[in-house]
Structures are given as C-alpha cells and as structure tokens.
Amino acid sequence: MIELHLRKLRARDDISAEEEAAIRDAVSCTRSYRPDELVVPARQQTSGCTLLLAGIMARYKDLRSGERQITELHVPGDFADLHSFTLKKLDHHVTALTACTVAVVPHEKVQAITERFPHLARVYWFQTNLDAAIHREWEVSLGRRTALQRLGHLFCELQARLALVGLADATGFDFGLTQSEIAECMGLTSVHVNRTLKELRERELVEVRNGRVSIQDLQGLQRAAEFDPAYLYLEKRGG
Amino acid sequence: MIELHLRKLRARDDISAEEEAAIRDAVSCTRSYRPDELVVPARQQTSGCTLLLAGIMARYKDLRSGERQITELHVPGDFADLHSFTLKKLDHHVTALTACTVAVVPHEKVQAITERFPHLARVYWFQTNLDAAIHREWEVSLGRRTALQRLGHLFCELQARLALVGLADATGFDFGLTQSEIAECMGLTSVHVNRTLKELRERELVEVRNGRVSIQDLQGLQRAAEFDPAYLYLEKRGG
DNA sequence: CGAAAGTTTGAATGTGCTCAACAGCTGTGG
DNA sequence: CCACAGCTGTTGAGCACATTCAAACTTTCG
C-alpha cells in the first residue's frame, strides 16, 4: 500500500527494515477523495500528514480575482503536506485533482519516528527540500520560460517523477488533468494551453489526449524545454 | 554576531540557553563577499551552511539564453543554504548581490546539533519549509500577478522579513539591488521594472531611490499587492 | 575627471490574454 | 431513445501588458 512511498525513499537513501517497520506502523487510516475535493484547507490547524497512494493532488493558493495558482503537483508515493508537521497551519490549500486515495500519518507518529531515527528525520527533511527544489524550478518556468517550454518542462518533470515509482515510461503516463488545470500550474490561460498543446503535437513531441500524456520524442521534448532532472535528485545518495 | 539569526528563530520558537550555546558553538568562521560574488555554486558538493550576517544574497538558476531567475532573496539572519545539509549538492547558485558577511556552519555541526536537540532539528526543518513557503508565494507572483503587484508584493515581503530582525520599519528599509536584479526576481525586464516603479511612485505607494525603499503607504501597498503575511509565519508558535 | 554601470524614456513589436462562438463528449431526465 | 445541460476542448479576431531595441541621461566609483 505504501510501497510506492518506500520505493521513492529508497531511490535516494537506504531505508533499514527497522525504519520501514516504523513507517508502516505510523500509517493510521486511509481515505478517498473525489476530483476537486479539498483535502487540506489553508490556515487551519493540521494534525497529520497526507500520504498520496493513488491519483493526482495539487497545492494551490487563490487570489482575490478568483483565479488560483497551483504551486506543485503530487503523484502517488508523495506526502502532499509533510511540511504541515513543522508548519502546523499551511499557507496553501491541498486538493485532489483526480480521484485519490491517501494514507494519514498523525503528527505524533512523525515526531516519534524522527526522534527515534535521526536518519529518517533527515530523509524526510530531504523530501520537503525536494518540494522546495520543485517550487524553484516552477519559478523558473513561470518567470522565464515560454508557454511551449513551460508545458514541455511540466511533462518532463511528471515523467521523471512518475517513472521513479513505476507509473511512467519513456512513452508517457496517465494524466487526467484538464487544460484549465494545466493552465493554473503554469500561469497561462486554458485557451493558450490549448494552442500550445497543439504546437507540441504538431512538432511531434507530446500528445495529450483522453487522460494520457503520450510522449513521442522524450529527448526532443527535454531539449525543447531545457529540462535537466538534476533538481529532482533522482540518484542514490550517501545513504 | 549571530544575534539577528537568534532573533529570527526566537520570533517563532523558544530557544533555550543550552540550544543557543550549541548554535553559537557551531559557527566556525566568518567570510566576506563582494557584490556579485558567487557564494555557493550549483551542483558541487557542499560541506557547510552559510549564515548571512549582513547584506543581501540570492538563490538563482540560469537558462541557456543567459538570463537568470532569482528564486529567493536572503536577508541578514537567514541561512542562505541550510538545505545543503540534506541536499548536499544544490540545484541552484547562491550569490551575494550586495557586499555581504557570513558565518559558516559545517554540516557535521548541523548534524550534531539536530541529533542532540530534536527540537532544534524541527526549528531548522521549519526554516527550510519557510523558504518553500516563500518560493510558493513567488510562484503566485510570477504566475498570476501584474507587474505592479509583483513589485509591491516583493517590497511588502522584504519589509516584513527585515522588520522581524529590526532592519525595516513601516517607512521602509535599505535595499541596494539594481532594477535589473529586481527584474530577475519577478520575471520582468529591467525596462518594465523601471516603468512600474514609476507608477508605484506616482501612486504614492513606494519610492525606490539611492539604495533605499521608502514606503509612503504601507497599508495601501499591501492592499494593491494583495499581500497577506501569513505565509511568512511571523507569529510565535507552540514552542 | 572620465569610464562604467545603472536609470529613464520613446517607438515598434510580440507573446499571451480576452471575448466569443462552436464542437464534442458525458450524464441526466423526460 | 432523444433532448438538453454542463463541462472540456478548439478556433478566430482584436487587444494589452510587457518586451525589444535604441538613445540619452544620471549616478557611482576608480
């Protein structure tokens, strides 16, 4: 059930059997969410962290105009709000974009684990720093990349993150977001996303259709989007 | 010397005398940097964290075109690269924008402190999550706000962060960045920053001149920029 | 004092937005 | 089974915010 999460952790660090047992023990209950259902509201006290098992979630902030900016997408195996352990109240909302199932880990369990296993504390600290690295890369997209590069980069990022947990290969991945939601990620309008997807299709780089991102030319896409996966820290580290 | 750092920590958490002593003990040496001097290069192994004592630093990533996107600014009291403790290699550069002085804390000291004081581990984990919250707010600016709001929001953020360590009040703060550097933060060109600063001046909200941001109407500025300081977690927390 | 860096302004251009209409698909109810 | 509503996706025309290019001006600093 939390296999994808362990897979994600073990892609970067060694996790002992004892540590694994502690993580498994920490999961209290599971829940399901429908598309567009709010999972964690901003500004409210939180009491646990949400481990995404299936589906796509998003962190977002909204503006007075009614628009919203999605600041990160979450894929299975991710904690959507591990930072709620230290922040207690979030500065953003967390919502399910597609149908999702999650496991909940109470903050006390996180505290117990991190105090008993300082190594796991660093592993999870690392995971929140990885979120920050993803935020930084999105800042680059939002600030300096063209619409074509933004979408290309987003698909490259998702391909890499999903491949890490076995949910994508070089030919693509399932991806049920609407063009409006993609627009909310990349600071564009849905109309412009539509035109840009058309261009990506015409250039024979990616095709997005029927809830699937079909990558025709991964290398070409990465080149066009100036994608360098280093910020995702995909390689195994010291231990 | 690290008073501003302690002040920043204590604004949110209680730090015991013992913890303070451990932090003071961890600082190994101090260094100075000139404007535009690279402090931490991306992709290279790091061995310590950089505590900013004076001056303004920036995290940035650069693009093939030669442009760069600044992803966060650092003010005195901040660790510019606390996340290097868990990431080891950074996905971005850290540079001095103005003349800076720093204190260096070796990673072994960070490790020792966080293992000896789990509470401090959470305090520093919190600090890196604060960086992520700032990244998120910049994503909102870069993705959805107008040029006027972006600059206004940036000045509000800096005012709040600098005020926390006593380096700003409601009338403004010293701020030696060029218009090009401001542009690199907010995804604009220096020409457009110039025109936008003119508009902010004409609206009698802020005036930027001679290395100082003079705020004429802080409330008006915050309203215009849709600034809500909640994401900076300025209030004291549980302990 | 002179060179270099930074700021200011104008004119033309362009990427992406707004507004609008329409097509396609799914689900619902008569 | 069809009519219709609602959501998503597609396309066109005109517009706007921000960019590019260029020149002049001001400040900083060696």
Cα distance between residue B88 and residue B83, in whole Å: 8
**Cα angle, residue B28 at apex, residues B25 and B31 outer, rounded to 5°:** 135
% pLDDT > 70, chain B: 99
Residue B173's SS3 state is: strand
Residue B165's SS3 state is: coil
Each residue's pLDDT tens digit, B57-78: 999 999 999 999 999 999 999 9
Residue-level pLDDT at A28:
83
Residue-level pLDDT at A47:
97
Each residue's pLDDT tens digit, B120-148: 999 999 999 999 999 999 999 999 999 99
B19 touches chain A (CB under 8 A): no
Residue-level pLDDT at B239:
53
Backbone φ, ψ for residue B73 (5° rounding): -105, 150
Mean pLDDT (chain A) is: 97
Residue-level pLDDT at A1:
80
Cα distance between residue B75 and residue A16, in whole Å: 39
Minimal Cα distance from A126: which residue of B? B86
B14 touches chain A (CB under 8 A): no
Minimal Cα distance from A239: which residue of B? B86
Where chain A has pLDDT below 50, the residues are: none
Cα distance between residue A126 and residue A12, in whole Å: 10
A210: left (phi over 0), alpha (psi -120 to 50) or beta: left
The two structure tokens encoding residue B29: 């040496």
B146 touches strand C (CB under 7 A): no
Identify nearest nucleotide to residue A208 by CA to C1′ distance: D9
| Nearby residues of B87 by Cβ (< 8 Å), 6 or more positions away | A126, A129, A133, A233
Residue owning tokens 């231990």: A239
Of the pLDDT bands very low, low, confident and very high (cuts 50, 70, 90), residue B45 is very high
> A38 pairs with which residues across the strands?
A95
Cα distance between residue A80 and residue A41, in whole Å: 12
Identify nearest nucleotide to residue B201 by CA to C1′ distance: C8
Of the pLDDT bands very low, low, confident and very high (cuts 50, 70, 90), residue B179 is very high
Cα distance between residue A139 and residue B61, in whole Å: 10
A229 touches chain B (CB under 8 A): no
Largest CA distance in chain B: 54
Residue-level pLDDT at B169:
97
> B145 pairs with which residues across the strands?
none
Residue-level pLDDT at A239:
53
107-146 in A: which are within 8 Å (CB) of B? 114-115, 118, 121-122, 125-126, 128-129, 131-133, 135-140, 142-145
Residue by residue, what is the 3-state secondary structure of chain A? CCHHHHHHHHHHCCCCHHHHHHHHHHCCEEEEECCCCEEECCCCECCEEEEEEECCEEEEEECCCCCEEEEEEECCCCECCCCHHHHCECCCEEEECCCEEEEEEEHHHHHHHHHHCHHHHHHHHHHHHHHHHHHHHHHHHHHHCCHHHHHHHHHHHHHHHHHHCCCCECCEEECCCCHHHHHHHHCCCHHHHHHHHHHHHHCCCEEEECCEEEECCHHHHHHHHCCCHHHHCCCCCCC
User: A17 burial class (0-12, 13-18, 19+ CB within 10 angstroms)?
Assistant: exposed
A91 touches chain B (CB under 8 A): yes
Mean pLDDT (chain B) is: 97
Section B39-48 average pLDDT: 98
Helix B179-186 crosses helix B118-144 at what angle (to 10 degrees)?
Answer: 100
Each residue's pLDDT tens digit, B64-119: 999 999 999 999 999 999 999 999 999 999 999 999 999 999 999 999 999 999 99
Residue-level pLDDT at A61:
98
Tell me, in Å, how far CA of B212 is from C1' of D27? 15
Section B18-23 average pLDDT: 98
Section B227-235 average pLDDT: 97
* Helix H or strand E encompassing B103: strand B100-106
Residue-level pLDDT at B237:
82
Contacts of A138 in chain B (CB under 8 A): 139
Residue-level pLDDT at B28:
83
Pick from B153, B156, B159, B160: which is nearest to B138 by CA? B153
Of the pLDDT bands very low, low, confident and very high (cuts 50, 70, 90), residue B197 is very high
Q: Where are the alpha helices (DSSP H) in B90-178?
A: 107-116, 118-144, 147-164
Residue B46 reports pLDDT greater than 70: yes
Contacts of B225 in chain A (CB under 8 A): none
Cα distance between residue A186 and residue B113, in whole Å: 39
The two structure tokens encoding residue B170: 């409601």
Contacts of B113 in chain A (CB under 8 A): none
Each residue's pLDDT tens digit, A106-162: 999 999 999 999 999 999 999 999 999 999 999 999 999 999 999 999 999 999 999
Cα distance between residue A126 and residue A221, in whole Å: 28
Whether residue B88 contacts residue A237, with contact meaning beta carbons closer than 8 Å, is answered with: yes
Q: Are A238 and B88 within 8 A, CB to CB?
A: yes
Cα distance between residue A24 and residue A58, in whole Å: 24
A239 touches chain B (CB under 8 A): no
* Cα→Cα distances A102→A4, A8, A56, A175, B80, Å: 12, 16, 11, 18, 34
User: B134 burial class (0-12, 13-18, 19+ CB within 10 angstroms)?
Assistant: buried
* Helix H or strand E encompassing B104: strand B100-106
